[in-house]
Amino acid sequence: MTYPQITDHAVLHYLERGLGVDISGLRRRLALRLPAAQSVVEELGEGAIVQDGLCFHLKRRDDGTAVLVSVTSAQASQLSNRALRIRRRRNRACQT
């Protein structure tokens, strides 16, 4: 038997509507963990903030606001290809 592929969007809606997870609350908690996000993207355009073993990857929107685009492990061996490209391009270490 084959099963359908499930998108991240569908998983998010299931967590929110099916399991009652407060997604808005999670967004607020993440935002509070990243008070320096806006200054990072104003200075670099994109970058990363490392906290508690996680690397929060940020990018600047066209209107200048910071947006969190992904969260990866802060261990270099576990960074995604995109994170490695950003790291090389900005020459910024993403390690604790």
Return the amino acid letter for 65: T
Sorted by sequence, the CB contacts under 8 Å of residue 53 that are 6+ apart come out as 73, 74, 75, 96
Q: Can you give the pLDDT at residue 20?
A: 96
Residue ranges of the chain with pLDDT lower than 50?
92-96
Q: What are phi and psi of 8, to 5 degrees?
A: -60, -35
75: tokens are 């261990």
Q: Can you give the pLDDT at residue 12?
A: 94
36 C-beta neighbours (distance < 10 Å), count: 13
Among residues 51, 37, 36, the alpha carbon closest in space to that of 96 is found at 51
Q: Can you give the pLDDT at residue 49?
A: 86
- Can you give the pTM of this predicted structure? 0.63
